[in-house]
Chains A and B, each alone.
Chain A
Amino acid sequence: GQQLNQSPQSMFIQEGEDVSMNCTSSSIFNTWLWYKQDPGEGPVLLIALYKAGELTSNGRLTAQFGITRKDSFLNISASIPSDVGIYFCAGQNPYNFGNEKLTFGTGTRLTIIP
């Protein structure tokens, strides 16, 4: 099935650093979602974006819905140890009305180096 291109695949950073990751698609989406998955748990929704150009924050997290509707990015400022995990983007195709489903990115694994 289709997957979104998400980069980077993994990141190794020091505590306190800022983080940036993005997703790109060949198709347009009407919704972009960002999730975080901790080991042994299900993905947890961080931010939802519904409009092209929309910039939304959730604490130290900021995400944007790209103007072309084909991309989105997530920034984390001043990383802390609990930010460790796998981050997924997900997009919804606007033409699947009544058949709504998300296409997920390949994930970005964030590791904080002591």
Chain B
Amino acid sequence: DTAVSQTPKYLVTQMGNDKSIKCEQNLGHDTMYWYKQDSKKFLKIMFSYNNKELIINETVPNRFSPKSPDKAHLNLHINSLELGDSAVYFCATRQGSSYNEQFFGPGTRLTVL
């Protein structure tokens, strides 16, 4: 079983569309994250949720809205997609308490045309 999974793997869409990326984890971890990796491979945190509660929101445009229906899922919805949103988006999880290791999903490559 994959510990952290994301769907879809690839997403190609037109500017102005609304799209969602899904993340699921079977590790039982408390905290989940969304990261954006740009073309230069810089990894930047976007959001984190702990037990369905938003903890971190790193000055991300409000076109991006994370949703956590339960502890095992953290989805990312993006409205009115722009060319600059093209990137690879990674979901990650962290066990919590004193364990700081984060475990990443395989990524979703978003291309906005």
Residues of A within 8 A of B (CB): 1, 3, 30-31, 33, 35, 37, 40-45, 48, 50, 86, 88, 90, 92, 98-102, 104, 106-107, 109
Contact = CB atoms under 8 A, between A and B. Distances in A.
A92 B100 contact: yes
Contacts, number: 58
A56 B94 CA distance: 21
Given A98-B55, A100-B31, A45 B103 contact: yes
A102 B44 CA distance: 9
Chain B's interface: helix, strand, loop or mixed, by majority? strand
Contacts of A30: 100
Interface residues of B, number: 23
Contact of B100 (A3, A42, A48, A107): A48
B106 A42 contact: yes
Contacts of A37: 41
